[in-house]
Chains A and B, each alone.
Chain A
Amino acid sequence: MKEPSCHNWHVHAVSMPDFMPLKKLGELQGKRLRSVVESAYANVACFRKRMDARKVKPQDIKGIADISLLPFSEKNDLRTTYPFGLFASPMKDVVRLHASSGTTGKPIVVGYTARDMEVWKNVIMRTLAAAGMHRGDILQNAFGYGLFTGGLGLHYGAEALGATVIPISGGNTERQIMLLCDLKVTAICCTPTYFIHLMEHAEKMGVDLKKLPLRVGVFGAEPWTEGMRLFIEKGAGIKAFDIYGLTEIIGPGVAAECERHCGLHVFEDCFYPEIIDPVSGKNLPDGKEGELVLSTLQKEATPMLRYRTHDMTTILPEPCKCGRTLRRIMRIDHRSDDMFIIRGVNVYPSQIEAALLKVEQTFPHYLVILTKANGLDQVEVQVEVTREVFSDRISEMENLRGKISLSIEHVVGLRMNVRLVEPQTIERSQGKAKRVVDRRTMNPGDKL
């Protein structure tokens, strides 16, 4: 048979599972869940003990609807069984290890069999195809290569799609911009914060990203907002796509936006999503916001059953206009553990970002600093001053500070002290952006 010359043929072929009829999808999910539960029960002591405690046997799982019978798992399970306690495959079948840095103590380690690598490659191909990428695209992969799943995960999927991959990894911003220009790059992937950093740097170097062939940005590995998307799309003249994934499940490739940008399609033939109430652990119906729980339906080396992600989102059950039958989750812009509580009020960094966007109409760099004075929570929001908002008049700058403070109060319901800081003084992350610094130390005498 002749090799088809049309780009779209390639895209369409890899994306076929995205369009599976729902009945067939449900049957496939049930079949795959049964087999992953059997393997987890037979090979992983932690899962077996927990199922036994709930008096659930693998044979009780008849279809995908029975998933809620299963116990949850969480990050701590990976820590307490470090390094290989959750592995269901013998090491001779494991071809790759990845690890995610823990902010405290040991990292968590996950493994992949050769078949897991195939699954991963396929979901990345589907991710990139949904973003409109195809054979012939030149992808600058600025996700970190190494133990982090972002770099290598995107790498193999992009190659399999037929794209040319530039494995530049993260950092060295000036070289990134030089190669973006010189190698006629058409697509880039990295964290959204890092891309904004690239945009700022390009401007300083006198490079107009809008004039480059770059047309697609695939961004993930941290929560970001619709405001950031608009800022990126306008400033760089590209289409920006949100992707979602986590090391514990596979890495990038769990869910991805299509050209409609109305939520992220979960590749639910491979990863089954549920939404639960983060406090009670009860399942919530589609359309309600709660914590995302994911089960791997195909993972051999490190299967995960009902893994609590701490990411807050909503499942959108309505069919997407793109025709994919995969359900969508809303863009994840906050995590249940991102939340901080100030004087009894729950606050998410995304709320502060939204408040700032209302005032500045440009993407603000900000940092929330929590301290305690006389037993009371104190909040300071540091906001970098941009050229757009800077004035030579003190009164206008004070006015700006007041407007920001008021806007935050409107959105959050709390008055916060706003400090204007010089540009580039808030650290730019190459990985996940840090938005909150909590310096409220608990002294032994303090009461909760």
Chain B
Amino acid sequence: MKLHQISVFLENQPGRLTKPCDALANAGINILTLSLADTQNFGILRIIVEDWEKAFKVLEKSGAVVKITEVVAVKVPDRSGGFAGILHVLERSGINIDYMYAFTTNRGGNSILILRFDKADEAIEILRQSGIGIVDKISMFAR
């Protein structure tokens, strides 16, 4: 199961992050997790929210360039070596991670990682076979 990630183009300048975040706040949309990738020139804000369709509309209306990408959220045991184990599985199968970001929850001793693959379905299959938990409902993010 894949999650819908929202990406927003930003110029790398002070104050640019505020606008999309304000737009979401005003619409009562809570950001579950996010990551900000930046270059000298521009940045890309990536967000996970519960109601991605609404968030997409809100952000587009605010004038932002928005894109929806499917990402995979995996459960990582919150102990040393937890993440390395997942990487080994992926490495063996030759699947490339485009980018990733993480956040911790204290539910059941797991962290959650958001991973962007170019072959998401294949990756999910391999992770499943290796017994790695996939977060398949956005509600599981709720703390």
Across the interface, B16 reaches (CB within 8 A) one of A390, A397, A422, A423, namely A422
Q: Find the A residue at minimum CB distance from B46.
A: A392
Q: Is A318 an interface residue (CB 8 A)?
A: no
Which residues of chain B come closer than 8 Å to A385, judged between CB atoms? 9, 42, 65
Residues of A near B63 (CB, < 8 A) are: 422-424
Closest to A425 in B: B11
Docked pose: A424 CA to B5 CA in angstroms: 23
CB distance from B25 to the nearest CB of A (A): 19
- In the bound complex, CA of A398 to CA of B63 (Å): 22
Measured in the bound complex, the distance between the Cα atoms of B65 and A390 in whole Å is: 7
Within the assembled complex, what's the spacing in Å between the Cα atoms of A425 and B42? 14
- Complex-state Cα separation, A385 to B10, whole angstroms: 10
Say if the beta carbon of B66 comes within 8 Å of chain A.
Answer: yes
Interface check A430, CB cutoff 8 A? no
Instruction: Please give the number of chain A residues whose Cβ is less than 8 angstroms from any Cβ of chain B in the complex.
Output: 19
Indicate if the CB atoms of A398 and B98 lie closer than 8 Å: no
Name the A residues within 8 Å of B79 (CB-CB): none
B106 touches A (CB below 8 Å): no
* Chain B CB within 10 A, most for which of A422, A423, A425: A422
- A419 interface hit (Cβ, 8 Å): yes
Q: Which of A392, A398, A420, A422 has the most CB of B within 10 A?
A: A392
B64 at the A interface (CB under 8 A):
yes
Asked if A447 lies at the interface with its beta carbon under 8 angstroms from chain B, I say: no
Q: Measured between C-beta atoms, what is the minimum distance from A7 to chain B in Å?
A: 42
> Which residues of A in the span 389-444 have a Cβ within 8 Å of any Cβ on B?
390-394, 397-398, 401, 419-425
* A421 proximity list for chain B (CB < 8 A): 11
Interface flags, A373-392, vs B, CB<8A=1, else 0: 00000000000011100111
Chain A residues whose CB sits within 8 angstroms of the CB of B66 once the complex forms: 387, 390
Known A387-B67, A398-B39, A422-B16; contact A204-B7, beta-carbon cutoff 8 A: no
Select B67's contact among A390, A419, A420, beta carbons within 8 Å: A390
Closest Cβ neighbor of B40 among chain A residues: A419
With both beta carbons as reference points, the residue of chain B lying nearest to A388 in the complex is identified as B65
Nearest B residue to A394, CB-CB:
B37
Interface centre among A386, A390, A419 (most CB of B within 10 A): A390
- Which of A392, A398, A425 lies in contact with B7, CB distance below 8 A? A392
Partner of B98, one of A387, A393, A401, A420: A393
Q: Give bound CA distance, A397 to B44, whole Å.
A: 10
The listed residue with most B CB atoms (<10 A of its CB), out of A394, A421, A423, A425, is A394
User: With a CB–CB cut-off of 8 A, which chain A residues contact B116?
Assistant: 392-393
A369 to chain B, nearest CB (A): 14
Known: A385-B65, A387-B67, A392-B116. A420 touches B42 (CB 8 A): yes
Residue of B nearest to A391 (CB): B67
Residues of A within 8 A of B16 (CB): 422
Report how far A392 CA is from B37 CA in the complex, Å: 9
Question: Are A422 and B98 in touch, CB under 8 angstroms?
Answer: no
Q: Does B61 touch A at the CB level, under 8 Å?
A: yes
Q: Which residues of chain A are within 8 angstroms of B46 by Cβ–Cβ distance?
A: 392
Contacts of A398 in B (CB 8 A): 39
CB distance from B45 to the nearest CB of A (A): 10
By a CB distance below 8 angstroms, the chain A residues around B69 are: 392
In the complex, are the beta carbons of B11 and A387 less than 8 A apart? no
**A residues near B41, Cβ cutoff 8 Å:** 401, 419-420
The reply to whether A397 and B98 contact each other, CB–CB distance below 8 Å, is no
Q: Which residue of B lies closest to A382 (CB)?
A: B11
Residues of B within 8 Å of A397, CB to CB, are: 9, 39, 42, 44
Additional pairs, 11, CB under 8 Å, beyond known A397-B39, A422-B63, A423-B65: A386-B65, A390-B65, A392-B5, A392-B44, A392-B67, A394-B39, A401-B41, A420-B11, A422-B10, A423-B9, A423-B63
Seen from chain B, the residues whose Cβ lies within 8 Å of a Cβ on chain A are: 5, 7, 9-11, 16, 37, 39, 41-42, 44, 46, 60-61, 63-67, 69, 98-99, 116
